Amino acid sequence: MEEKPLIAFNSSKALLDVLIRAGLIATLVLFCYDIFHPFLNVMLWALILAVTLYPLNQKLGAKLGNRYGWAAIVLVLLGLVILMVPLSLLGASVADSVKVGMQTVEAGQFEIPPPPANVADWPLIGAPLYGIWMHASQDLSWVFKELAPHLTSWGRVLLHQAAGVGAGIVVFVVALIVAGLIMTHGERGHRTAVAITTRISGPVRGPQIAQLCTSTIRAVAQGVVGIAFIQMILIGVALVIMGVPAAGVLALMVLLLGIMQLPVLLVTVPVVVFVFAHDGVGAGTIIFAVWMVIAGLSDNVLKPMLLGRGVAVPMPVVLIGALGGMVTSGIIGLFTGPVILAVGYELFIGWVYQPADVSEVLDETSHDNQP
């Protein structure tokens, strides 16, 4: 009779030990997260860049005599040289647009400028376009004034997020440098990733999950985010050179449309019409229009090159990741959000449709056959 209280006491003591250990581990995890949280976006973007650029680093390192560290340095320096000038131009444009936009939102002054007189002289579309534009400038301004009180809060949130583009550029530069450091130890990092997933999911599923995460990151980063980023640079720099108002904001719209897999001609065509209406027909405007068309259709060439057609992640997942990432992490979230959500989606779908373990099936079969 005395054994039952002793067993109950031992069970309670064991449960208390487990709870204390779990509490201590949870406390340690919370402290570690609190310390690491300011660097989370940088490290996530650096990891995505490292995984995406690692095959290129391996090829370049092999050509440099198996000097993969030097290959990583070359890729980082090349990326900084290529991207710093256009990103700086777009960042300055976004900053100016945000400043004007915040003043407009706070003052509640929304106006549509009337069309230039030469628009009516355009062949075929001139007269109807002039009439629609003039009607909008005269009759639609009151609509914005009526909606302004309801849109002010949302407008301020979006403008404040766009105002963080300067910080996003700094994060991008730092992340690219950290990605170079990660690529120099790529083989060790791969072994560590496999070891972690093996520890979590077992020796069979662990390497498969590591490979799934790697392939998903590369597919989304190259085939979706990468193409959209290239189109944003090509179109955004041309908009800045032509002096188009809110060029940086329009470039961000191009990036978002590219991530959504929608044609960026939705932005470029109205911009080309505006440039022709404002500057008239000339050699510069014609070259600008041709460049806009080529840049807008460049995804048809880039997708086969960057394996974008192999992306199995549904576009709504990518879109939600981009929008949610921008709300939570600013401009850099436009890049990290789709990749992270795509990896989570692929892991969840793989877990849902994974085949049952053979031992579990045998146990269930033997249990069902028992009399």
Q: Let me know if 150 is exposed, middle or buried by CB neighbors in 10 A (0-12, 13-18, 19+).
A: exposed
Taking phi over 0 as left and psi of -120 to 50 as alpha, with beta for the rest, 108 belongs to: left
The number of angstroms, rounded, from the C-alpha of 211 to the middle of its chain's C-alpha atoms is: 21
What lies within 8 Å, CB to CB, of 285 at 6+ separation is 275, 276, 279
- Of 34-38, 86-90, 216-220, 249-253, the least confident: 86-90
Identify the pLDDT of residue 35.
Answer: 92
Identify the pLDDT of residue 298.
Answer: 83
Q: The tokens 């990036």 sit on which residue?
A: 255
pLDDT above 70 for 96: no
Burial letters for 153-173: b for 16+ Cβ neighbours within 10 Å, e otherwise?
eebeebbebbbbbbebbebbb
Q: The tokens 């069970």 sit on which residue?
A: 11
Q: The tokens 């198996």 sit on which residue?
A: 66
Interval 143-165: pLDDT, tens: 555 545 555 555 555 555 555 56
Q: Taking a C-beta distance cutoff of 8 angstroms, is the pair 248, 90 a contact?
A: yes
- Distance between CA atoms of 166 and 84, rounded to whole angstroms? 12
pTM of structure: 0.73
Identify the pLDDT of residue 361.
Answer: 40
What lies within 8 Å, CB to CB, of 272 at 6+ separation is 288, 289, 292
Identify the pLDDT of residue 119.
Answer: 64
Backbone angles phi, psi at 293, to 5 degrees: -65, -45
Overall average pLDDT of the 260-281 stretch: 81
- Distance between CA atoms of 30 and 148, rounded to whole angstroms? 42
- Distance between CA atoms of 93 and 91, rounded to whole angstroms? 5
Q: Taking a C-beta distance cutoff of 8 angstroms, is the pair 152, 110 a contact?
A: no
Identify the pLDDT of residue 124.
Answer: 65
Identify the pLDDT of residue 170.
Answer: 79
- Biggest CA–CA distance in the chain, Å, is 105
Among 197, 189, 229, CA closest to 213: 197
Identify the pLDDT of residue 227.
Answer: 86
Identify the pLDDT of residue 367.
Answer: 44
Q: Tell me which amino acid residue 81 is.
A: V
- Distance between CA atoms of 129 and 117, rounded to whole angstroms? 11
Backbone angles phi, psi at 281, to 5 degrees: -90, 125
